Chains A and B, each alone.
Chain A
């Protein structure tokens, strides 16, 4: 049976933990609103870019199209760009990304492919460093947060592009958490190289004869690198929003659990106090009877 003093200390410690988790929850909620906002503001650019790529790609000649679009014909070395958070305390957010990355690596290695990893965010990079550290080509930190900079996405895009042009890998895939709603995130794999072309190429401008300036090929060559940076940027925005949402949910649960724990401990504390008083009373009464 713990003493009253022990219980009191325990209750106080849980209470201060609860204060921290509820503060973290509120901070995450406030930041989430901003992150969600910028994710939404970033969407039009990505959408329109995708539309242009789709319409260009549907007209490009597959034999002479840029390699960024159709790949270099090989499928031996895969680059995975894994986006996790820099900080923990956000529930299963980092865990699910790490798990997905590990599965993907195992699957690709099982098929006899070489795998390289570009880690964005500290948590997954740390978690996988021991088993897969030799496959890292780089690990980046401090990119995600409330304000994702396009410049950071552009520099990741450039790294990917340069690596591809230097023949370091043949296929590039992004692994990130997609923000679905404040309570759910979805681990998403998105292929960057060769470019993913949407199905809806036959929409409103089908049949419209576009004029191209300069010609299609040159235009495509100019658009594809930008498209990669844009895809990375929108993945970063999604991932940041998802991280904050995950943290908010996790901290909300933690606060609630702390509340339950405090209730239980207070009950034990009161029972113990009552028991002590009863015991003392019995001692006094039986002492008085004995006289």
Chain B
């Protein structure tokens, strides 16, 4: 078993992901960055984009986030974001319906999710 780092993706409503992974690629405000185990401590601003979770050498899941913060330490990656949508399990119609109902930043984000699907 390869070395892993503990990924936590936290939104105001819940903890969306909490599991050990091999690598995380996050959309930093100054460009994408990948986090492997034993990464140097880093605190970074994130922009809207896709967090890629790598397990067993391939992309296991892709999660769209609407900006946020990443707190990286040697053993863990904590991503705080106001909105997140798992692209793997997202239902296009359901998101479309929510996007039509929502307004402002929320609708904007959901439309971006639709575009990325």
> Which residues of A come within 8 Å of B, CB atoms?
38, 41-42, 44-46, 48-49, 51-52, 55-56, 150-151, 153-154, 205, 208-214, 218-219, 222-223, 226, 229-230, 233
Report whether A205 and B73 are in contact in the complex, using a CB–CB cutoff of 8 Å: yes
Report whether B11 and A45 are in contact in the complex, using a CB–CB cutoff of 8 Å: yes
Report whether A213 and B73 are in contact in the complex, using a CB–CB cutoff of 8 Å: no
Given A151-B104, A205-B73, A212-B43; A233-B12 close (CB under 8 Å): yes
**Could you say which of A48, A213, A230 contacts B78, with CB atoms under 8 Å apart?**
A48
Given A52-B69, A205-B41, A212-B43; A226-B82 close (CB under 8 Å): yes
Given A48-B71, A154-B82, A214-B29; A208-B45 close (CB under 8 Å): no
B85 within 8 A of A: no
B80 within 8 A of A: yes
| Min CB gap A53→B, angstroms | 10
| Min CB gap B48→A, angstroms | 13
Report whether B44 and A212 are in contact in the complex, using a CB–CB cutoff of 8 Å: yes
A230: chain B residues within 8 A (beta carbon): 12
B40: chain A residues within 8 A (beta carbon): 211
Report whether B71 and A213 are in contact in the complex, using a CB–CB cutoff of 8 Å: no
Total cross-chain contacts (CB, 8 A): 76
B14 within 8 A of A: yes
A223: chain B residues within 8 A (beta carbon): 69
A151: chain B residues within 8 A (beta carbon): 104-106
B15 within 8 A of A: yes
Known pairs A153-B12, A212-B43 / 9 extra A-B pairs, C-beta < 8 Å: A48-B80, A49-B69, A55-B43, A211-B42, A211-B43, A213-B28, A219-B44, A219-B45, A226-B82
**Could you say which of A205, A222, A233 contacts B45, with CB atoms under 8 Å apart?**
A222
A42: chain B residues within 8 A (beta carbon): 12-14
Instruction: Give the complex CA separation of A222 and B14 in angstroms.
Output: 22
B93 within 8 A of A: no
Instruction: Give the complex CA separation of A41 and B11 in angstroms.
Output: 9
Report whether B41 and A210 are in contact in the complex, using a CB–CB cutoff of 8 Å: yes
Instruction: Enumerate B51-89 residues with CB–CB distance to A below 8 Å.
Output: 69, 71, 73, 78, 80, 82
Report whether A211 and B41 are in contact in the complex, using a CB–CB cutoff of 8 Å: yes
- Nearest 4 interchain pairs by C-beta: A213-B44, A41-B14, A150-B12, A211-B42
Instruction: Enumerate B1-54 residues with CB–CB distance to A below 8 Å.
Output: 8, 10-15, 28-30, 33, 40-45
Instruction: Give the complex CA separation of A77 and B42 in angstroms.
Output: 38
**Could you say which of A41, A52, A213 contacts B29, with CB atoms under 8 Å apart?**
A213
Report the nearest B residue to A55, measured CB to CB: B43
B15: chain A residues within 8 A (beta carbon): 41, 44
Report whether B43 and A56 are in contact in the complex, using a CB–CB cutoff of 8 Å: yes
Report the nearest B residue to A155, measured CB to CB: B104
Report whether B71 and A218 are in contact in the complex, using a CB–CB cutoff of 8 Å: no
**Could you say which of B10, B29, B41 contacts A45, with CB atoms under 8 Å apart?**
B10
Report whether A208 and B41 are in contact in the complex, using a CB–CB cutoff of 8 Å: yes
Report the nearest A residue to B28, measured CB to CB: A213
A218: chain B residues within 8 A (beta carbon): 45
Report whether B43 and A213 are in contact in the complex, using a CB–CB cutoff of 8 Å: yes
Given A42-B12, A151-B104; A209-B82 close (CB under 8 Å): no
